[in-house]
C-alpha cells in the first residue's frame, strides 16, 4: 500500500521551485494560485532568500502550492488522487492542507485561501511574544518530555524516530539549550506553533473555515491530532483548525500507516524530512522524496509497482 505525504514548515529552501517551472503548465498554475494566496509564489519559490521564505505568512501558502504542483506533475490533473494511485494520504502540520486536497476534502483554491489566513494569523500570533521551536534528536523519550515540561515548553511535534520538537518562548528555549536532554537543533520557523501561543490564530481560522463546504475523503486520510483516519470532511476541516494550537503527533500517523500495511511512501515537494523519519521508524518501507523533477520517474515507478500488487 502506498502513502503520499506532504511536509510542513521548515522544509522550504531558497530556489526550491526553480527546476519545477520547466515543466509545462507549472508556472501558469502557480501564477493562478498566487492570485488566491495574494503572494507571488513563483518569485518566492525561485529568487527569494531564506529569511523571506521563513516568514510564516509566506512559507505556508508556498509549501502548500509547491506540494500541489508536484502532485499534479506526478499524478496528472486528476488530483484529488484516485484510490487506485494511493491508498493513504497524510500531511505534517501545514502539509495537512495539501493532503486534504489529495483526498478530495478541499479544492486547491479552498486550501490556499484557508492556508493564507492560517499563515497570516499564525504570524500575527507569533509577533506577540518572542517564541520559537527546537528539535531534540535522540535521547530517551521520557527524559526528553520531562525536560520539555520542566522548562515550561510544549512538545509541539512528536515525530517519532527519536525526534521531538519543543516550542515556547525564546527564554525557555535558551534554558533548554543550556542543558539539553538530547542533541538540540533550532528550527527555521518564526513562532511556537502548535502551542497555546497560537490561540488567537485558532479562533480566526475557525471563522474563516465556517464558510467552506468540504467533501468527504476519497482515500484514507490521516489526522495529525491522533493519527486516526478521518472519514468526514467536515471533521477533518475542524481538526485542521484545532491543530494550529495542538501538538502534531506524526509518530501516531506513522503507527497507523504501519497498522494499515503501508509499504511505500512518496513525499511531495520539498521532500526529504518525512521519508527520513519513515526510514527509521517504518523499517523496510520504500521511499521516494520529490526534490527535483528528476525524482518523478522514480515516484511513478513506485506507484506502478504498488498498484500492480
Residues 116 and 137 in one domain: no
**In contact, 84 and 105? CB cutoff 8 Å:** no
* CA 211/CA 166 separation, integer angstroms: 33
* CA 270/CA 7 separation, integer angstroms: 7
Residues 168 and 212 in one domain: no
* CA 144/CA 163 separation, integer angstroms: 10
State which of 144, 163, 186 marks the end of a domain: 186
**In contact, 7 and 13? CB cutoff 8 Å:** no
CATH number of the domain that 43 lies in?
Answer: 3.40.366.10
Residues 119 and 213 in one domain: yes
Residues 119 and 136 in one domain: no
Q: Which residues are part of the catalytic machinery? A: 93, 194
The total of other beta-carbon atoms located within 10 Å of residue 307's CB is 12
**3-state SS, residue 191:** coil
Q: Is residue 191 part of a domain?
A: no
The pLDDT of residue 83:
58
Residues 255 and 286 in one domain: yes
Residues 33 and 174 in one domain: no
Radius of gyration of the chain (CA): 18
The pLDDT of residue 10:
87
The pLDDT of residue 81:
53
Q: Which helix (H) or strand (E) holds 287?
A: strand 286-289
State which of 164, 186, 208 marks the end of a domain: 186
| pLDDT tens per residue across all 309 residues of the chain | 999 999 999 899 999 999 999 999 999 999 999 999 999 999 999 999 999 999 999 999 999 999 999 999 999 876 765 556 789 999 999 999 999 999 999 999 999 999 999 999 999 999 999 999 999 999 999 999 999 999 999 999 999 999 999 999 999 999 999 999 999 999 878 899 999 999 999 999 999 999 999 999 999 999 999 999 999 999 999 999 999 999 999 999 999 999 999 999 999 999 999 999 999 999 999 999 999 999 999 999 999 999 877
What is the DSSP pairing of strand 163-169 with strand 131-137? antiparallel
Residues 95 and 6 in one domain: yes
State which of 161, 186, 211 marks the end of a domain: 186
The pLDDT of residue 189:
80
| pTM across the whole model | 0.95
Residues 121 and 236 in one domain: yes
CATH number of the domain that 170 lies in?
Answer: 3.30.70.250
Residues 94 and 213 in one domain: yes
Total domains in the chain come to 2
User: Which structural domain, as residue segments, surrounds residue 65?
Assistant: 2-126+196-308
Residues 74 and 210 in one domain: yes
Q: Is residue 147 part of a domain?
A: yes
Q: Is residue 135 part of a domain?
A: yes
Residues 226 and 304 in one domain: yes
Residues 139 and 273 in one domain: no
The pLDDT of residue 104:
94
The pLDDT of residue 78:
63
Amino acid at each position: 500500500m502506498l502513502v503520499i505525504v506532504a511536509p510542513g514548515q521548515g522544509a522550504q529552501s531558497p530556489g526550491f521551485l526553480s527546476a519545477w517551472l520547466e515543466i509545462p503548465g507549472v508556472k501558469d498554475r502557480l501564477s493562478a494560485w498566487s492570485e488566491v494566496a495574494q503572494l507571488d509564489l513563483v518569485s518566492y519559490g525561485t529568487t527569494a532568500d531564506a529569511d523571506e521564505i521563513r516568514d510564516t505568512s509566506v512559507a505556508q501558502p508556498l509549501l502548500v502550492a509547491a506540494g500541489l504542483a508536484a502532485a499534479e506533475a506526478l499524478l496528472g490533473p486528476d488530483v484529488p488522487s484516485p484510490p487506485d494511485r494511493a491508498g493513504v494520504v497524510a500531511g505534517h502540520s501545514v502539509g495537512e492542507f495539501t493532503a486534504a486536497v489529495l483526498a478530495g476534502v478541499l479544492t486547491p483554491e479552498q486550501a490556499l485561501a484557508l492556508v493564507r489566513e492560517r499563515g497570516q494569523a499564525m504570524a500575527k500570533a507569533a509577533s506577540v511574544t518572542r517564541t520559537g521551536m527546537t528539535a531534540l534528536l535522540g535521547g530517551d523519550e521520557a527524559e526528553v518530555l520531562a525536560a520539555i515540561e520542566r522548562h515550561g515548553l510544549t512538545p509541539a511535534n512528536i515525530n517519532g524516530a527519536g525526534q521531538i520538537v519543543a516550542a515556547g518562548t525564546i527564554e525557555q528555549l535558551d534554558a533548554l539549550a543550556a542543558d539539553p536532554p538530547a542533541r538540540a537543533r533550532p528550527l527555521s520557523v518564526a513562532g511556537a506553533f502548535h502551542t497555546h501561543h497560537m490561540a488567537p490564530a485558532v479562533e480566526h481560522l475557525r471563522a474563516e473555515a465556517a464558510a467552506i463546504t468540504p467533501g468527504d475523503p476519497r482515500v484514507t486520510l490521516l489526522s495529525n491530532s491522533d493519527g486516526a483516519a478521518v472519514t468526514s470532511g467536515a471533521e477533518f476541516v475542524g481538526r485542521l483548525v484545532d491543530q494550529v494550537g495542538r501538538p502534531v503527533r506524526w509518530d501516531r500517523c506513522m503507527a497507523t500507516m504501519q497498522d494499515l500495511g503501508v509499504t511505500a511512501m512518496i513525499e511531495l515537494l520539498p521532500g526529504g524530512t518525512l521519508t527520513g523519519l519513515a526510514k527509521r521508524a517504518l523499517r523496510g518501507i520504500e521511499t521516494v522524496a520529490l526534490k527535483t523533477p528528476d525524482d518523478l520517474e522514480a515516484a511513478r515507478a513506485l506507484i506502478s509497482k504498488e498498484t500492480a500488487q
